[in-house]
Structure 1
Amino acid sequence: MDSPHGVALSAEDFGLKGPRGWAFRGVEFTAGSGSLVAVEGPSGSGRTCLLLALTGRMRSTQGHAEVGGERLPGRLAAVRGCSALGPVPGVSELDPSFTVAEHLRERALLRRRFDGSPRSLLRPRAERAATARATIDTALAAAGLDLAALPKAERTSVRDLERLEALRLSVALALMSRPRLLAVDDTDLKLSATDRSRAWELLRTLADGGTTVLAVCSEAPEEALTVRTRPAGEAETPADDTTTEKETADAIAGTGRA
């Protein structure tokens, strides 16, 4: 896949405090473009909120970060424009009632509607269809998802996918927008040791190809640049940093879009 050049990431005393206390705080790291960055920590330690803040989907309240030279929390829209979300519960989940083909077609239509130039909308239908098919095929290949290997090929429902297959589909959908930063939540959740290795191999390959990858996990691989989040009880100020889906949705709505 001809990946765009990834973004450099950095954070200094980066934090987010919500209605129920600190989601995360004091995060500091520097990563070059094309890095594989693993956000490691136990559930409830603010990992997902950090991922959403670094992709411009949540507004931080302490310190600052830079994504491709764009400073946060000020340049949220610019950061959203160069990043894409893989699977994030409550934000960018797959619809279990959709087939794989329906997800891919929907994303292709949205990309053509919102990411394409006005001139592209005037091209002949056959040409638009061929372009969409090429985009889908390229993204599937990069994500390592072989439709022919699925139980009903592209007509397989999401509910019938294995966990690793669903992860690959989510990554493929994100790659269709050719992001410079790809963010993936719960990378190693409910994966066997073998599938966990395959998931990290996929993300490492994408990073080696030039796309910066930010991945939340419970245990980071040795080759990743690891950023660790702390449970609320370890913070200087006692707080419950567990964020509900409603609070996450409200915070994302405040940034303009997911």
Structure 2
Amino acid sequence: MEANPDEPHGAAVVADGFGLKGPRGWVFREIGFEAAPGSLVAIEGPSGSGRTCLLLALSGRMKTQEGHAEVAGLALPRRMAAVRRISALGPVPGVSDLDPALTVAEHLRERALLQRRFDGSLKALLRRPAERSAAARARIDEALAAAGLDLATLPKGDRTSVRDLERLEALRLSVALALVGRPRLLALDDTDLKLSDADRAEAWALLRSVAASGTTVLAVCSEAPEGALRVSTATRRAATGAAAAENVPAGDADAPAAEPAADAGDDTAKSTKSTKTTKTTKTADTTSTAKTEKTVKTEEGEADALAETGRA
């Protein structure tokens, strides 16, 4: 099916009260924002604040339990599969890592084959092999140009192994691989991780250019750049913690406040008093136990006397 030329290529993203709960509690909660097609959305916050989970949830790869979100009009989490078809992942550690043993050319060739096998139309599959190869080459060249990756500048050209790439070059390769499928939404994690100030500026310039071409970009970072739509998970996590602190059970709420620390003499006196109280309690318990045993023995003696009288 041909795309509607009047429809924006990028996907609009809307979230309202969006939340994900894990085995240890809320990962993120009360996330709300609106992003137009072709926006650059920076998901910022410290490590462990739920940034990656929010990224995966908005790209249809993690199921949420609270709130509402839509990507290109597709409701989440009900239409997760449909969202996955129009979105692509850039670098996400543990999910879409590059293989350090493969070369750049092998990564590109593999992605083109997967694209043709799983996302290609029936008409494309019926083309002659020469036409399919030319179409795949055109897609790869288009993606490399959009990602700003010039193979001629690499140490061994397209035969350069991923392990020999610089951090920014690896980022560009991951973005190029994601753009081979011409997605409407591009999601990537750790955008500014281990980058110098100059490389960080280049990385954000790359993502701005991708967004300017019409593809909506969701990028996880520690600090959002200027001009990006900021979505903070740290603020929402703090607000959730404050709300949880307010919901204290009635018994705990009535508990007395902690007293200020006393000096050493008071501590000794309190300790001695506590020891005396404990000894008194133990003595009372011993006396009570002795009385109980005496009563039981008396009752048993009376029972035996009655039994002997009955025998007599």
Report the TM-score when normalising by structure 1.
Answer: 0.88
1: CA distance, partners of 2:239 / 2:196: 30
Q: What is the aligned partner in structure 2 of residue 74 from structure 1?
A: 78
> Which moves more between the two structures, 124-133 or 95-104?
124-133
RMSD: 1.5
Q: How far does residue 114 in structure 1 lie from its aligned partner after superposition?
A: 0.4
Point out where structure 2 has 5 or more consecutive residues left out of the alignment.
1-7, 246-312
Q: What is the aligned partner in structure 2 of residue 249 from structure 1?
A: none
Q: What is the aligned partner in structure 2 of residue 209 from structure 1?
A: 213
SS at match of 2:144: helix
Q: 1:105 aligns with which of 77, 89, 109?
A: 109
Look up the equivalent residue of 2:29 and give its one-letter code.
R
Is the aligned partner of 1:229 residue 2:236? no
Q: How far does residue 233 in structure 1 lie from its aligned partner after superposition?
A: 6.2
2: CA distance, partners of 1:40 / 1:153: 35
Is the aligned partner of 1:55 residue 2:53? no
Q: What is the aligned partner in structure 1 of residue 38 from structure 2?
A: 34
Q: What is the aligned partner in structure 1 of residue 174 from structure 2?
A: 170
Q: How far does residue 119 in structure 1 lie from its aligned partner after superposition?
A: 2.8
Q: What is the aligned partner in structure 1 of residue 121 from structure 2?
A: 117
2: CA distance, partners of 1:111 / 1:140: 15
Trace 1:79-158 onto structure 2 (pairs within 5 A): 79-158=83-162
Q: How far does residue 222 in structure 1 lie from its aligned partner after superposition?
A: 1.1
2: CA distance, partners of 1:17 / 1:63: 11
Q: How far does residue 234 in structure 1 lie from its aligned partner after superposition?
A: 5.6
Look up the equivalent residue of 1:14 and give its one-letter code.
F
1: CA distance, partners of 2:240 / 2:100: 37
Q: How far does residue 100 in structure 1 lie from its aligned partner after superposition?
A: 0.4
Look up the equivalent residue of 1:159 and give its one-letter code.
R
Q: What is the aligned partner in structure 2 of residue 242 from structure 1?
A: none
Is the aligned partner of 1:181 residue 2:185? yes
Is the aligned partner of 1:13 residue 2:17? yes
2: CA distance, partners of 1:80 / 1:129: 26
Q: How far does residue 22 in structure 1 lie from its aligned partner after superposition?
A: 1.4
Is the aligned partner of 1:190 residue 2:194? yes
2: CA distance, partners of 1:67 / 1:53: 11
2: CA distance, partners of 1:97 / 1:187: 22
Look up the equivalent residue of 2:91 and give its one-letter code.
P
Report the TM-score when normalising by structure 2.
Answer: 0.73
Structure showing greater relative contact order (alpha-carbon pairs closer than 8 Å, 6 or more residues apart): 1
2: CA distance, partners of 1:224 / 1:122: 42
Q: Deviations over 1:157-179 (max 9, x none)?
A: 00000000000000000001100
Q: What is the aligned partner in structure 1 of residue 29 from structure 2?
A: 25
2: CA distance, partners of 1:33 / 1:233: 30
Identical pairs, percent = 72
SS at match of 1:230: helix
SS at match of 2:234: coil
SS at match of 1:49: helix
Look up the equivalent residue of 1:175 and give its one-letter code.
L
2: CA distance, partners of 1:205 / 1:119: 31
Which has more radius of gyration?
Answer: 2
Point out where structure 1 has 5 or more consecutive residues left out of the alignment.
239-258
Q: How far does residue 118 in structure 1 lie from its aligned partner after superposition?
A: 2.3
Distance verdict in 2 for CA 1:223–1:233, change over 3 Å = closer
Aligned positions, number: 236
